[in-house]
Structure 1
Amino acid sequence: MADRRQVLRIGAAAAAAPALAGTVAAPALAGNSSSTKKLVVGHRGASGYRPEHTLASYELAARLGADYMEPDLVITKDGVLVCRHEPEIGGTTDVSSRPEFAARKKTVLLDGISVTGWFTEDFTLAELKTLRATERIPAIRQRNTLYDGRFPVPTFQEVLDLRKRLSKELDREIGVFPETKHPTYFQRLGLPLEGTLVRVLRRNGLDRRGAKVFVQSFEAANLRELADKHRVQVPLVFLTGGAGGPFNDPRSYADYLTPAGLKELSQFVDGLGPEKGQIIPRNADGTLGTPTALVKNAHQAGLKVIPYTFRAENSFLPAELRVGTDVAAYGKAIDEQVTFLRTGIDGLFTDNPDVGVLARSLV
């Protein structure tokens, strides 16, 4: 698969956008070429400011300067890709308040973990469209609860349509960075994500060299199938956690991230999406420690590195960058992102795209 691999396209310069109250304005980045600019991925859209995985969140991400929108993809009973963080939707929609769907609450083994709630595979798209999105972490993002009940669950096609419209309106191409969520789980249900994703991309003319698309997954087998069976032409990104390994895979993430493991990965993927602690771990006191060799080793294997997830609230920041004691208050998020960008990473996933755009302009 080495001949399929291509240089990751980081995208055109981000345009300036008006900032929300209390956020950082996204500046123009004159002179920052598309070949060297760090990539800013709007993680689940601009989920620091709107309920995640809604068209409102994705649109705001683009308007704040993100190069890419990042939808997590799950699938409905009738085989339509929709954007949710997990198959279980009790925590991100108002389904628990809908008596007509009460009987669909169930318990499943989701990648070996018992999970109780409502699951997309039990809903047709028409039924899912009657639900409304809610903020996933209201205790931290109370302001986002203002929008609870306002937005429906979008399909992947709707995100691609939004991408096309905004690219014309903003006069710069907006990318899309979909993640296949729990692909083994859905395969076992007879609702595989891979073929459906490829068909949607091809229907939209996006499975081609140079398209502003990345496909990502926490499962190496899923990415191998996309590369070998479906022969996708867009770059693939292997996501890794700080512990454990891909579901139903005897290998750990740590094993995949050894020099030998990275060399093997480079035969079928183009980049890594590690948990940010794998780039700079935290000390016992919660402060940032010494950067690891992962960025260097991945680059030597020909892989780009785009870690996750950068957020502005104190609860997600290293101890020395928190401001005050309120876990929901903003800390020194710009400083954190600048620190990570200086390790040589090729971009980052952030819930606050305007902060990411500003941080990369300072590096």
Structure 2
Amino acid sequence: MALLKLQIRTFCYILVILLWISAPQLSHAVRRYPYFRDQEENPGRQPLQMQRPFNIAHRGSNGEIPEETAEAYMVSFLRLCSVYLSSLRNMTNSTHFLAIDWTCRPVLLDIKVDFTLAEIKTLRARQRFPFRDQSYNGKYQIITFEEFIKIALNAERIVGIYPEIKSPVFVNKHVKWPGGKTHEDIFVETLLKFNYTGKFFSEAWKKQPLFIQSFAPTSLFRASNLTDSPLILLLDDVTVNTQDTNQTYAEITSDEYLKFISKYVVGLGPWKDTIVPPNEKNYLATPTDLIKRAHAHNLQVHPYTYRNENKFLHFDFHQDPYQEYRYWIHNMSVDGMFTDFTGTLHLYQEWTSPLSGL
């Protein structure tokens, strides 16, 4: 055990050194990256890794760069670790999708439908948490869904996307499209425009990997009639009600419901504390059987959100994010993880299950 802790601590030092070396290169790299060009043929791109849990970049490398910006996604590429991009979809009043979650900002929720794209483009992103690096505040634009897609399609290796159908009840109430189309219709049409199609693990899917996520079950039902791409049902705290069906998330994780939903989705995206709830002293309590039951229904499990800072780590992990990854990968057998620090997860995976060429 002492040797294991020494190895983990050594890897933490390596991570700090790597980040320190690469920091001066970030601004140059993000300036030169051709984010939004049309996709170019590149048949020699490195394929997607599928031998270990998916390293899901939660809104880009947002532990370093303000989230949901082109620069945050590019930095996740530089870390050689981001398998998936997670992005949130909201709307302007001119029906453009945005890669942003307004509910996480100190602004009025209705900003996403009260302003045009041109007006939104005058804004600049800020770091969400005050205890993270603030030096990039006010520098980077908010991007659109199509811009987000083009970043992934032009990566030097195959990188999947993991967009969310965000707040569909609210959006469908306030935004009207011609012909009576819905949020889900326009969302899927945009993905099809860029040739995102194919069932999970199909050859088409491997070329342009995609997971569609939502907290709203009915939104996923609609999407399942529009695309064969894999869908993920996100899960909030078990006491919270869904925005569309008014069920608690405890109700929709029953065995009966998992059997039902498995006809439409390929996996679940639960808040990690609903799987292994902490006690009042911030130590992990007895794990639930959610992962075991999900796997019994052939469902993937991608918990959220893993963060390096001590305030997000339960005391069992002794202020060490590598120990947290070890627990969730080796003890809990998750299939993927949403993380703010993709570089940390990548280094852990390279240490414990290295893949040649990555």
**What is the TM-score with the length of structure 1 in the denominator?**
0.77
Residue of structure 2 equivalent to 1:123: 115
User: Is 1:164–2:153 an aligned residue pair?
Assistant: yes
- The one-letter code of the counterpart of 1:240 is L
Residue of structure 2 equivalent to 1:347: 336
Does the 8 A contact of 1:88 with 1:120 survive in 2? Answer: no
Residue of structure 1 equivalent to 2:188: 198
- The one-letter code of the counterpart of 2:265 is V
Residue of structure 2 equivalent to 1:333: 321
Residue of structure 1 equivalent to 2:36: none
Q: Which runs of 5+ in 1 are unaligned?
A: 1-15, 24-32, 92-115, 323-330
Q: Distance in 2 between the 1:298 and 1:306 partners?
A: 11
Residues 239-318 of structure 1: pairs in structure 2 closer than 5 A:
239-242=234-237, 243-318=239-314
Residue of structure 2 equivalent to 1:66: 82
Match of 1:71, SS state, is strand
> How far 1:173 sits from its partner (Å)?
0.2
Residue of structure 2 equivalent to 1:106: none
Does the 8 A contact of 2:197 with 2:228 survive in 1? Answer: yes
Pairs aligned (count): 298
Q: Distance in 2 between the 1:236 and 1:250 partners?
A: 20
- The one-letter code of the counterpart of 2:230 is P
Residues 90-169 of structure 1: pairs in structure 2 closer than 5 A:
90=106, 116=108, 119-138=111-130, 140-141=131-132, 143=133, 145-166=134-155, 169=156
Q: Distance in 1 between the 2:248 and 2:52 partners?
A: 31
Residue of structure 1 equivalent to 2:55: 40
Identity of aligned residues (%): 29
1:236 pairs with one of 231, 234, 246: 231
Does the 8 A contact of 2:55 with 2:337 survive in 1? Answer: yes
Q: Distance in 1 between the 2:306 and 2:21 partners?
A: 17
- Greater RCO, 1 or 2 (C-alpha within 8 Å, sep 6+): 1
Q: Distance in 1 between the 2:322 and 2:149 partners?
A: 30
Q: CA deviation digits over 1:315-360, x for unaligned, max 9? A: 11102435xxxxxxxx311111110112111010000001112233
Residue of structure 2 equivalent to 1:216: 213
Q: Which runs of 5+ in 2 are unaligned?
A: 1-14, 23-47, 177-181, 200-204, 354-358
Does the 8 A contact of 1:341 with 1:360 survive in 2? Answer: no
Bigger share in helix: 2
Distance 1:201 1:290, change over 3 A: same
Match of 1:56, SS state, is helix
Match of 1:20, SS state, is helix
> How far 1:88 sits from its partner (Å)?
7.1
Q: Distance in 1 between the 2:103 and 2:246 partners?
A: 24
Q: Distance in 2 between the 1:81 and 1:250 partners?
A: 26
Q: Distance in 1 between the 2:142 and 2:228 partners?
A: 28
Q: Distance in 1 between the 2:261 and 2:93 partners?
A: 33
> How far 1:37 sits from its partner (Å)?
1.4
Q: CA deviation digits over 1:192-235, x for unaligned, max 9? A: 4211211111111113341300000001011011013x2x1210
Does the 8 A contact of 1:287 with 1:320 survive in 2? Answer: yes
RMSD between aligned alpha carbons?
Answer: 2.2
Q: Distance in 1 between the 2:109 and 2:215 partners?
A: 22
**What is the TM-score with the length of structure 2 in the denominator?**
0.78
> How far 1:52 sits from its partner (Å)?
0.7
Does the 8 A contact of 1:241 with 1:274 survive in 2? Answer: yes
1:226 pairs with one of 220, 223, 230: 223
Q: Distance in 1 between the 2:60 and 2:171 partners?
A: 24
Q: CA deviation digits over 1:237-287, x for unaligned, max 9? A: 000012312113132111111111111110111100000012222122101
- The one-letter code of the counterpart of 2:341 is N
Does the 8 A contact of 1:280 with 1:340 survive in 2? Answer: no
